[in-house]
Copies of this chain bind each other. A is one copy, B any other.
C-alpha cells in the first residue's frame, strides 16, 4: 500500500513525523512526502524537510494524509492543493489527517457529513464545512481517520496501522518505539489542564485564531458556491 503525506510550508512537523515514525516501520507501506516542488519545506518552527515527490510525479495514494500547523490557513483557499487532494481522494482507501490538517480536508470537501477531530483550539471550525466535530484523540468514520492536536499523530498512526496490519504487529512497533508515554505534567487537553493554563493558551493564540476562523468561513463559502445544496 502507498501512503501520500502532504508537506507544506508552515506545517507542524510533529503532526507528520509522529505518524511517519509509526507507519514507516511497516515494510509493506511505501511513503511519499509530497509538495508542489522538490525544494525543502520549512515547518512552522524552522525544521527543513525534503519532499520526495511533487503533485505531478506522486503516485496514487492508498492512504492520503494531511498534517496541520500554522501554514494550514494559507492552504484553505489554495486551489492547486485542494484539487490535488480531491483527485487523490477519489481512489484512496483512507483519507486521514492530524491536527488542523482536517480543516484542509474539509476545505477540499472531503469530510462533508463525516465525524472528525482537530486541534482543540480549532475543532469548532469543522462545522462550517458540514463536518461533525468530535472531541476524541482519534476519530474513525469509515474511510476517514482524523487525529486531534500534534502529538495525537502517534496514536493516530498506531490506530491506522492496527486496521491495516492487526493489533499484534502494532504492539511490536509500539515496543520498538518504546511508546510508554510519561508526561511529567497533566496538561495535555483543555479538560485536564488548569483553567488558567487554558485561558492563557487561548489569549496567546487569539490573534491567529481569529484570522484562521475568518479564512475557514471564506473557504466554506467557496465550497458551498462550488457545489450548492440541491433545492428541496
For A14, list chain B residues within 8 Å (CB).
17-18, 20-21, 177
- How many copies make up the complex? 2
Would you call B198 and A185 a contact (CB within 8 A)? no
A133 at the interface (CB under 8 A from B): no
Interface size in chain A (residues, C-beta < 8 A): 64
A155 CA to B183 CA in the complex, in Å? 5
Would you call A172 and B151 a contact (CB within 8 A)? no
A158 CA to B40 CA in the complex, in Å? 28
A13 CA to B184 CA in the complex, in Å? 22
Nearest chain B residue, comparing its CB with the CB of A17: B17
Interface 9-residue window, one of A42-50, A83-91, A103-111, A213-221: A42-50
For A152, list chain B residues within 8 Å (CB).
178, 180, 182
A171 is contacted by which of B17, B40, B193, B205 (Cβ under 8 Å)? B193
Lowest 8 CB-CB distances: which A-B pairs, in order?
A149-B178, A180-B188, A171-B187, A181-B181, A48-B50, A24-B45, A14-B21, A17-B17
